[in-house]
Structures are given as C-alpha cells and as structure tokens.
C-alpha cells in the first residue's frame, strides 16, 4: 500500500503480466482501510534500497505490519 515515484510503473507492470486478479496495489490508504487490510495480508515486502540508515533501524511500516499480523 502506498504510492511513490514507481507506483504507476508497478501498476502497469502488474497488468502487463496478467496479475491484476491476484495482486492488489491500492495506492494510498487511510486508517480505516489500512487497519482492515493489514489484518488480512499474508506477506509483507519492504523494498527500500539498502543503506546505512535502514541497515541499522527498522522502518515503521515493518513494525506496523508485524503488530497487525499478530492481531488476527
């Protein structure tokens, strides 16, 4: 979930691979949708490029996913 500079390209790639029925890319999500969705996700992927910052700390989005994963 979310958007960024690669979002449109990711949507286009998903569609060109015929994965639209299997991969949901909802874009920006607000709390009411986000909280419901986080409870249903089986796989969380963070694709931040490795660097000195994220090598030594955990991004909030990873922690949030972990919390909701345990609330099921």
pTM above 0.85, yes or no: no
Of 47, 49, 7, 10, the closest CA to residue 28 belongs to: 7
Encode pLDDT of 17-67 as tens digits: 999 999 988 888 888 888 888 888 777 777 778 888 877 887 777 777 778
Domain boundaries, the chain: 7-69
Alpha-carbon distance of 14 to 24, in angstroms, equals 9
């Amino acid at each position: 979930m979310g958007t960024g500079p690669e979002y449109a390209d990711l949507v286009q790639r998903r569609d060109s691979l015929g994965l639209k029925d299997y991969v949901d890319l909802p874009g920006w999500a607000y709390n009411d949708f986000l909280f419901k969705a986080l409870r249903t996700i089986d796989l969380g992927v963070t694709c931040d490029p490795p660097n000195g910052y994220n090598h030594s700390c955990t991004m909030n989005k990873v922690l949030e996913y972990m919390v909701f994963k345990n609330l099921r």
